Amino acid sequence: MCLVTALLLSLPRNAEASAARRLTVSLTFDDGSANQLIASRILDKYDMRGTFYINSGLVGLPGYMAWEDLDGLKAHGHEIGGHTVTHADLTTLSASEANRQICQDRQTLLSWGFDVSSFAYPFSAFKASVEGIAQRCGYRTARAVGSLKSPRSCAECPVTERLPPVDLYATRTPDDIDMRWSLADLRNTVTRAESSGGWLTFNFHHVCDSCSPSSIRPAVFERFIAWLKARSPTSARTTVRTVQQVITGATKPAVAATPPRPPGAPGRNSLRNHSLEVASSTDSTLPHCWTLANSGVHRPRQSRTTDAHAGTFAAKITMPNGTDGDAKLIPTLDLGDCSPSVTRDHIYEVSAWYRSNTEVYFTLYQRDAVGQWAYWTQSPPMTAAKGWTKATWITPPVSSDTVAVSVGLTIDSPGTLTVDDLSFVDETPPAARPPTPPAAEDADRIDYTAYTDDQSDAGGWPGIVCITIALIALVAGMLDSYRTKAR
């Protein structure tokens, strides 16, 4: 008996821990990038399952998985988790916008037939209030990134998450897997964790040959999975499970998101911070609720300027020489805090005061009920203007699947554009409506009116319609006089 006791006391401490505790490994994938399907096929080959955190508002866009891809993941036993609608940094948002990003994303994924109980914070950005929103939206757990020992950081940190976790709504992982991680790094992270047991979660973004700094090569990923498979038979200490299999429990029903601001009343400007006076709390070069959107290979410069039409500040965009694409200042493409809601079939008057040394035009984007943004339409070009000039345009009718829009003046050639005092107004009076749109086959011939006026609100559709009414009245009077004489 004394000999047995002495032998037990002589065992290394890590041997005692590994004998007492098992290691659970979870393989997670953020953002729903299409190249993650390579990883899913490798996991299927080795009979393993992963957790894929999806941004519902990005599904089907170029470079992302389509709806049928998500169905395929589910059919092979992989878990679908939530990751916000548009991959937003939740720490920069109001409580209502963060709620919409988290709750609406989960609500959509549940409506598509997925059993959604796990969440991951975009950019691993969270705070206590955001954790509370994730919990209230029905998630059982939420994953952060970091705070566990990694090959190049956090040397004094724990090697695994506890089970149950220290914080269910901020579970810990090693650093994100990127191109710096070697096969040896991956293996060593597992073997080190086996000495203590617990939960070890790896987080991947892209699975490709150097397509992104945050990627792992498919060959390296498969060699790691094959090695991990050999260490995790049914009777072994190390097992691979989805997050949902680790944090178990009944799936909670969908929780309705905080509704966005309703569409503006007729004649009322729906844009927030339309005079651009309030600065963004996260970027001093931008007005609050506005963002610089651009396309092409160029780096436009955005700044706040005191060369304003009214008030103190305006926004200035500079397009450098020798570049392509465009740039425009638009309301943030969000879920309701900044982007104005709209009513189907209504038309809207868009206006802005501007100065530019090149042609400009309005560009509009539209958002559907899922939260996906897409290009909608643009106005005819408006001439360069040295002095402050008001540009105004009447939009086409809003389509049935559009719930919100974003709009801004666009510059697409080298030069500068200064813009201020923007407006987006529901024009419900008949005098403000354009002619009924033609049939689909004639859609290319639609010519919605755009016009500018220098320091004046006169002109446009109201003036045209008034003249038309006057002409009709004149003709009617002449006809009545003719009939009287004929009698």
pLDDT band at 430 (very low <50, low <70, confident <90, very high): low
What are the tens digits of pLDDT across the range 233-271? 765 789 999 999 999 999 999 999 999 999 999 999 999
Spatial neighbors of 399 by CB under 8 A, at least 6 apart, are: 344, 366
Percent with pLDDT over 90 in the chain: 79
Tell me which of 57-61, 378-382, 386-390, 431-435 is least confident.
431-435
pLDDT tops 50 at residue 23: yes
- Neighbouring CB atoms inside 10 A of 394's CB total 19
DSSP assignment, residue 102?
A: I
| Residue 178, helix vs strand vs coil | coil
Asked if 61 contacts 32 with a C-beta cutoff of 8 angstroms, the reply is no
Which sequence spans correspond to the domains of the chain?
Answer: 21-246, 290-431+447-455
pLDDT tops 80 at residue 178: yes
CATH 3.30.70.330 given to domain 290-431+447-455: no
pLDDT tops 80 at residue 435: no
What global pTM score does this model have? 0.83
Please report the pLDDT score of residue 207 as a whole number: 98
pLDDT tops 50 at residue 88: yes
Tell me which of 72-76, 199-203, 459-463 is least confident.
459-463
Asked if 288 contacts 279 with a C-beta cutoff of 8 angstroms, the reply is yes
Per CATH, the number for 21-246 is 3.20.20.370
Asked if 113 contacts 74 with a C-beta cutoff of 8 angstroms, the reply is yes
Tokens in use for 20? 């007492």
For 186, left (φ over 0), alpha (ψ -120 to 50), or beta? alpha
Beta bridge partners of 375: 365
Measured CA to CA, the distance from residue 122 to residue 130 in angstroms comes to 12
What are the tens digits of pLDDT across the range 132-159? 999 999 999 999 999 999 999 999 999 9
**Neighbour-count burial for 10-27, b at 16+ CB within 10 Å, e otherwise:** eeeeeeeebeebebbbbb
Cα–Cα distances in angstroms (integers) from residue 206 to residues 50, 119, 183, 222, 310, in the given order? 14, 19, 16, 14, 47
